[in-house]
Amino acid sequence: MSMSPEPEEECLPASCTAAARASRDRRARRESRARTEPSRRNPRAARSAKNLFDRDAMAHNLNAVDGCRSYLTLFGAVGAGVVGATGCVEINQCATGLRGLLFFVGTYVLGSVALLTRMRCNPVDYTSESLTKFVIMGAPGYALSFVLFWTLAYALVHIY
């Protein structure tokens, strides 16, 4: 045992030659470099390292997107109900609810464009979903919430 501040080597004295230590150090450097840098020889390894995502961050981003769309749907529906967007003056002129549908489409498209602008038009980096899936994701569920709050606001303002 030496009193030097350096840690002792983990090897048997018979195998602790200078050449064995040097080869072990070279191997350790190569392994640490391979872990930290994408492999230059293997482009598949570099691509697979690029595709690793943090699941917690993705779940957080998807929850944030869902919250934004939910609130925007709620406020758009209440706005449509307060304005009285129920369609045309008479039922015979056009389909009832056409203006409300346009309110929903407008708020949904506006929200999607705002989110895509915030994501620099690349939702794959933030949510691992393609552009079309990101835009269309959950639209029927948001439409049902829109109709619920739209009719509620319309009834509270114009009927009661």
Q: Is the pLDDT of residue 134 over 50?
A: yes
Place of tokens 């758009």: 76
- Where exactly are the structural domains of the chain? 13-50, 55-159
Most confident of 19-23, 58-62, 87-91, 93-97: 58-62
pTM of the full predicted structure?
0.60
Q: What percentage of the chain exceeds 70 in pLDDT?
A: 61
CA 34 to chain centre: 29
Predicted local distance difference test score (pLDDT) of residue 46:
47
* Angle ∠(87,98,66) on CA atoms, nearest 5: 120
Dist. CA 47–CA 27, nearest whole Å = 24
Give 29-50 pLDDT, tens digit per residue. 666 665 555 545 555 544 454 5
CB distance 81 to 157 below 8 Å:
yes
Give 72-101 pLDDT, tens digit per residue. 999 999 999 898 877 655 555 555 567 888
CB distance 86 to 100 below 8 Å:
yes
| Element housing 78 (H / E) | helix 55-83
